[in-house]
Structure 1
Amino acid sequence: MTPATPLDPAPFLRRLFDRAVEVADPMRSLARFLPDRPAGRVVVIGAGKASARMAEAVEAEWGPCEGLVITRYGYGRPCRGIRIVEAAHPVPDAAGAAATAQMLDLLAGLGDGDFVLALISGGASALLVAPVAGVTLAEKQAVNAALLASGAPISAMNVVRKHLSRVKGGQLAAAAYPARMLALMISDVPGDDPAFIGSGPTVGDATTPADAAQVLQRWSVPVPASVPEALLRSGVIPPCDPRLSRVENVIYAAPAQSLAAAAELAEAASCEVRLLGDRLEGEAREVAAEQAALARQIKAGLTPADKPVLLLSGGELTVTRTGDGIGGPNAEFCLALALALDGAVGIHAIACDTDGVDGAAEVAGAVIGPDTLGLAKAAGLDAATALQRNDAHSFFAAVGGQVVTGPTLTNVNDFRAVLILPD
């Protein structure tokens, strides 16, 4: 391939992101993990932002199938047998609750000769909606919204979600017992623990209601009065439960694979790639400050004869929301990075969510360069004020730095690349 010119960094960074998304497309990656179609009754279920595309990939191999999959609004795909229902994310809605009830009805009465294929990806925590007894949908929505604004990591949020649900924490798999189940998963969680992908609807869980209560206390999450008592009615399935004995969980796509594909493309363009890890967590602005300091240090040591250096990282950053703006962790990372770099020459970056949605906005993320703050000043914007208001998406819309992809139909977490060019 023709190496990307370091004089055109923004399109180069976008190509790296697009490559990371491409390799995680279920139509390219799922088929080799499918067994031959089993004899007898086969039921396909699923939930998540990639689940409809996964269902489409299944029918491309197996033909029309019986089943029901729940995905985010706008992420539906044409299937010949599997019914696709669209619902709200990241805060659940009545459409998701109705579809989840229908999914449970579909699983009821299956026998040991039947086979269930479960397709699970990030977003299933909001799309599979069956509140535990004593909690209304409106109360569950309030808990979800409060968790999202708290700054708690996804692993902690999912502990609470499991114990307030009748389908998460292995309960969906238990509902299908004694049928045999294969769950194919796309990981969007740091560390790729299947128990936390979509809050683990097909995976047993060892956490307790006390653990969920501790999360609420540690991150000062306000909850309706019904929640503390409802946690005690949790039906989360322990890993040793015999109802999970016929379940196989397989992660077939993960952030590490996408970062590796982007790294290969960057190396072909004569970059020196430094992988910072695929499981970074923490406040977006704090991680941005750390990477800005590292980028400045690397820049200071480069000579004109050196290769460009690319810092790659994945994981899932968080935002403790205190302002009234429109933002998301990837855009906030970029805004904080631009402020920390303060126009440093030769340093460019992109940060995007691979599902095409950063926070609740229909924007994947943002791209920055040495001119970002100058463009903002010319537009009458103050970057520090925008960061304080958690208004990163509005900021990048004004300076032309938004990355908008539309539905990518996959979800392998956040993608960050910082490009450091020699003088």
Structure 2
Amino acid sequence: MTGSTHPRTGAPGPVGGLSGLRSLLTQRMRSGQLGTLPIVGALIVIWLVFQLLNPHFLSSDNLVNLTLQSAATGVIALGIVLVLLVGQIDLSVGSVSGLAAAVVAIGSVQLGWPTLLAVVVALGVGAVVGVLYGALTTRLGLPSFVLTLAGLLVFAGLQLRVLGPTGSVNLPFRSTLVRLSQQGFLAPAASSAIVAAVVLGYAAMLMVERARRRRAELPVASPVDLGVRIGALALVLGSSVAYLNTNRGVGVTFALFVSLVAVVDLLLRRTRWGRAVRAVGGNVESARRAGIPVRRTFVSVFVACSTLAALGGVLSVGRLAAANQATGGGDANLTAIAAAVIGGTSLFGGRGSAWSALLGVLVIQSISSGLTLLNLDTAVRYVITGLVLALAIAIDTLMRRAREV
């Protein structure tokens, strides 16, 4: 994409208005780099279809429930996004989340630990699992697919051992974790303040990026384009939060999930670690020759993935007020992986975004919620989710081929 040049310096000027946006969109379609646009479009279509089939689907009450149900799985999916970015996979995130849930339940109920201590120990278990995966992958060259598949069985067994002969532990409803997960909502003023802070931060980031590109004599977006982006973000966030506030509001757990997504996105795009993750995912050998610490990057990604899986288990046990043998089972495991892929993260490594976890889990939970409102059983949900996943993989493969042409 080319822009006009500065009249004095000859530096590229703003790429202007609607013609610039059309040119950018056309270029991205030809190169297979549409980003999250297809997923956003699919999510809108899903919402419209279910709203036509059941007018309660887009009610504030149902959307609040949908966001609460998305938090735990979304946090686990965020970790999957990270390992996929380096071209690896973790099939044990469900078992790790189940083990973490068991640790929290047993520690806080039977051993009398403070809730915070139980949560910290559970997250520590996840971090240790990540270190183990990273070490075995980088030192011994074990394939992550087989290694984490073995881990799935090992940690599922440990979960059963920790839960004991009863196989189930209930948390009291007065527990801080349960009250926070089930009844914790941001005050309307707090949620509005967060939206304002996010929009201002995004605007500042765009301005800094524009100034940096201008100094480097690269094409820059016009002020109109920047205004459209900032206005669109403000409109989407502001209207969404205002609509949820007509009911119970924004859940604390969902706000935590979105905050983690924003932090990981910032780390991936603005830090040396993030650039290393993308470089390793693009080509391991080239990254190694460029002086990037490949082993350290692999270990850090596995640690982040397993720790986020453990956090997902903590949020799950808080929402359900119980940990049992089914916690973190095959459904949670496959749903988290599917969410990352459906959200736009490539199975081939090097391409994806932290926001893929948010978009992907919203797609899956929207399908689940919509089918529940239509009184359709779990079998239909599995079939539709599988078809959506297959479509996402097909699109990913086609876009990869388009970039290689």
- Could you tell me the TM-score, scaled by structure 1's length? 0.21
Point out which structure has higher relative CO (alpha carbons under 8 A, 6+ apart): 2
Query: Which structure: greater strand fraction?
Result: 1
| Structure whose residues are more often helix by fraction | 2
